[in-house]
């Protein structure tokens, strides 16, 4: 029997496919960037077909690189950008309108109304989430209210809606399966994380019929098989998780209290809280990490909307560099950011502020400010945002952190990791393989088809590349944080009339 696992990592800016052998080693990687559209202030959209096409291209490319075909693969695992919502016609398989991306703020007003009537408390209790435009529920409602075709299809019973995992599963199975996993469902704002079902009270409130939603399954198990006519082989899709939960799994953070920070398009700090769904009074999210068999592992999460996306903006729109690999050299070409701060609140602020009306700000500019200062302040802003989460994480969990694991595209930047360790005051451990999202999806799939027997076996695959230790005086750290706090205060509520 084949022991090769294929992981699909469908991120906000990149689709990637990675093949792993039974030792958890990477055989081949293929990636493709695709675009986002920003049609209005705070709106973020993608083409659902671009998501699929780029993912499919990388599946083909990775097999070609490894000189294999899909028939050589034992199982497929999927990790995906979460909350992003896609609607499609189940008869034609064609998307209806654009994918509404997790960063999109178009439903901020509606979420304000829910909060004004106190319904946010009901949402928090049932879903563990803060009431915010980030989550899928208000996006689904928006589609049903503003897209006439979607409404008509829903009335006829031929509309399907789902997060990106559900869309990929639908495409891979040629429309045979409409399913998602609990970790993705836990981000919809209509899923009850305690009884593991879509919640009738929430669906009624948001006016979302259950028949358009994907069936919710455990994260490790058979979701369906690739369609033989389209793909030539029937390969089981055996593991699915939201990308942040997959990264926690890929970091082998299986014990309560283990925590990771992912610096990708956004920045996400997540702590394994075991079988306990810990409520957060401090603006963090209680969410589902994964479900294996009947066992559910919960997590506490701090979500920051813009991290690496800031660096992409500097590359693509400001032409500061051509490759993100240049950032580290440019940021360290100067000894200090000279009091410059950037608050990358392009689409508002997520945890712990939850201010959809905040907007990006750059403060402390002087005549001496250069491109390198802006880049350095940009990198520092990633660390400051993560730092805003850690205090809440420690307070809500009661667990004192010594070491946090780090991953995601931007974690390749040593300056970011060192500055992050200095600001957080904890050690930051970076694995040799920072593709933890894809690894998490692969592990979930491999466990389901017997390539790996248990999580202890997988744990042994994790290897440290480098650990960054605190190397800054408390006085300097306090000074930096004071400036950051002032800058965030200036950016808050900016877009509110
Ligand atoms: N060396 C680097 N320094 C800073 N940011 C980086 C670096 N390398 C990549 N990035 C940023 O990381 C992001 C890509 O990370 P990735 O984990 O692939 O994201 P996603 O899964 O969200 O698509 C991009 O936004 C990019 O700007
Ligand atoms: O695209 P990423 O990797 O930054 O992840 C996006 C998150 O899943 C959004 O919640």
pLDDT of residue 246: 97
Strand ranges (E), 185-294: 191-192, 197-198, 215-217, 220-225, 236-242, 259-263, 267-274, 285-292
For residue 459, count other CB atoms closer than 10 A to its CB: 13
402, pLDDT greater than 90: no
Q: What count of Cα atoms within 13 Å lies in the side-chain half-sphere of residue 425?
A: 15
pLDDT of residue 177: 97
Query: From the CA of 301, how far away is ligand 1's center (Å)?
Result: 20
> Domain of 55?
4-244
Is the bond preceding residue 128 a cis peptide, omega within 30 degrees? no
**Average pLDDT for residues 288-305, to the nearest whole number?**
95
| Inter-residue contact 383 to 419 (CB < 8 Å) | yes
Q: Could you tell me if the CB of 311 is within 6 A of ligand 1?
A: yes
CA-proximal residue: ligand 1, atom 8 (nearest): 410
280, pLDDT greater than 70: yes
Does residue 23 form part of some domain?
yes
Does residue 158 form part of some domain?
yes
132: Cβ contacts below 8 Å, ≥ 6 apart: 108, 111, 350, 354, 356
pLDDT of residue 446: 97
pLDDT of residue 496: 85
How much is the pTM? 0.92
Does residue 419 form part of some domain?
no
Does residue 487 form part of some domain?
no
Query: From the CA of 267, how far away is ligand 2's center (Å)?
Result: 8
For residue 443, give Cα distances in angstroms to 32, 295, 381.
23, 16, 32
Does residue 32 form part of some domain?
yes
| Inter-residue contact 103 to 44 (CB < 8 Å) | yes
**Average pLDDT for residues 303-320, to the nearest whole number?**
95
Does residue 254 form part of some domain?
no
Q: Say whether 160 sits in a helix, a strand or coil.
A: strand
Q: Could you tell me if the CB of 11 is within 6 A of ligand 1?
A: yes
pLDDT of residue 48: 97
Query: From the CA of 410, how far away is ligand 1's center (Å)?
Result: 4
Query: From the CA of 470, how far away is ligand 1's center (Å)?
Result: 23
pLDDT tens digits, one per residue of 129-188: 999 999 999 999 999 999 999 999 999 999 999 999 999 999 999 999 999 999 999 999
Mean pLDDT of the chain: 95
CA-proximal residue: ligand 1, atom 4 (nearest): 410
Q: Could you tell me if the CB of 250 is within 6 A of ligand 1?
A: no
pLDDT of residue 1: 67
pLDDT tens digits, one per residue of 256-276: 999 999 998 899 999 999 999
pLDDT of residue 230: 85
**Picking from 292-301, 334-343, 348-357, which range would have the lowest pLDDT averaged per residue?**
348-357
The count of domains in the chain is 1
| Inter-residue contact 253 to 297 (CB < 8 Å) | no
How far apart (Å, rounded) are the C-alpha atoms in residues 129 and 189? 7
Does residue 396 form part of some domain?
no
3-state helix, strand, coil in the chain (%, to 5): 40, 25, 35
What backbone phi and psi angles, to 5 degrees, belong to 471?
-145, 45
Quick one: which atom of ligand 2 is closest to the CA of 103? Answer: 9
435 vs 291, more confident: 291
pLDDT tens digits, one per residue of 214-238: 999 999 999 999 999 988 999 999 9
ipTM attached to this prediction: 0.95
CATH number of the domain that residue 38 is part of: 3.30.420.40
| Residue found by looking up tokens 């970011």 in the block | 416
Q: Say whether 207 sits in a helix, a strand or coil.
A: coil
pLDDT tens digits, one per residue of 8-47: 999 999 999 999 999 999 999 999 999 899 999 889 999 9
CA-proximal residue: ligand 2, atom 6 (nearest): 81
CA-proximal residue: ligand 2, atom 4 (nearest): 265
pLDDT tens digits, one per residue of 343-379: 999 989 988 998 989 999 999 999 999 999 999 999 9
pLDDT tens digits, one per residue of 68-78: 999 999 999 99
Query: From the CA of 178, how far away is ligand 2's center (Å)?
Result: 22
How far apart (Å, rounded) are the C-alpha atoms in residues 211 and 295? 26
pLDDT of residue 386: 94
């Amino acid at each position: 029997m084949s022991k090769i696992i294929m992981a699909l990592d469908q991120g906000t800016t990149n689709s990637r496919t990675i093949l792993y052998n039974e030792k958890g080693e990477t055989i081949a990687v293929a990636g493709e960037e695709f675009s986002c559209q920003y049609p209005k202030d705070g709106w973020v959209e993608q083409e659902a077909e671009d998501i699929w096409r780029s993912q499919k291209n990388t599946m083909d490319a990775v097999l070609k690189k490894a000189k294999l075909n899909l028939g050589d693969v034992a199982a497929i695992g999927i990790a995906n950008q979460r909350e992003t919502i896609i609607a499609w016609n189940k008869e034609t398989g064609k998307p209806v309108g654009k994918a509404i991306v997790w960063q999109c703020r178009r439903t901020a007003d509606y979420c304000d109304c829910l909060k004004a009537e106190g319904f946010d408390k009901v949402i928090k209790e049932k879903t563990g989430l803060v009431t915010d435009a980030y989550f899928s529920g208000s996006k689904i409602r928006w589609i049903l209210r503003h897209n006439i075709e979607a409404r008509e299809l829903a009335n006829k019973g031929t509309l399907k809606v789902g997060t990106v995992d559900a869309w990929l599963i639908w495409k891979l199975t040629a429309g045979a399966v409409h399913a998602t996993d609990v970790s993705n469902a836990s981000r919809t704002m209509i899923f009850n994380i305690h009884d593991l079902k879509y919640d009738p009270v929430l669906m009624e409130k948001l006016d979302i019929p259950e028949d358009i939603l994907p069936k919710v399954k455990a994260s490790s198990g058979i979701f369906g098989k690739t369609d033989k006519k389209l793909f030539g082989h029937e390969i089981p899709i055996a593991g699915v998780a939201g990308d942040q939960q997959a990264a926690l799994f890929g970091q082998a953070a299986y014990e309560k209290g283990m925590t990771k920070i992912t610096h990708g398009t956004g920045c996400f700090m997540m702590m394994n809280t075991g079988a306990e769904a810990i409520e957060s009074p401090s603006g963090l999210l209680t969410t589902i990490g994964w479900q294996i068999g009947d066992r559910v592992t919960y997590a506490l999460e701090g979500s920051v909307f813009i991290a690496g996306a800031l660096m992409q903006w500097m590359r693509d729109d400001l032409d500061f560099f051509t490759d993100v690999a240049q950032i580290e050299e440019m940021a360290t070409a100067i000894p200090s950011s000279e009091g410059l701060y950037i608050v990358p609140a392009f689409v508002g602020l997520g945890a712990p502020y939850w201010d959809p009306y905040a907007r990006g700000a750059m403060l402390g500019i002087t005549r001496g400010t250069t491109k390198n200062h802006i880049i350095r302040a940009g990198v520092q802003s990633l660390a400051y945002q993560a730092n805003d989460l850690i205090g809440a994480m420690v307070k809500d969990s009661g667990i004192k952190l010594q070491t946090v694991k780090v991953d995601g595209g931007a974690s390749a930047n040593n300056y970011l990791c060192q500055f992050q360790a200095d600001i957080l005051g904890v050690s930051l451990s970076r694995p040799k393989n920072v593709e933890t999202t894809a690894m998490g999806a692969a592990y979930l799939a491999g466990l389901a088809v017997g390539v790996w027997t248990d999580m202890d076996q997988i744990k042994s695959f994790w290897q440290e590349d480098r650990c960054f230790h605190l190397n800054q005086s408390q006085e300097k750290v306090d000074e930096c944080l004071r400036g950051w706090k002032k800058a965030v205060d200036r950016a808050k509520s900016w877009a509110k009339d």
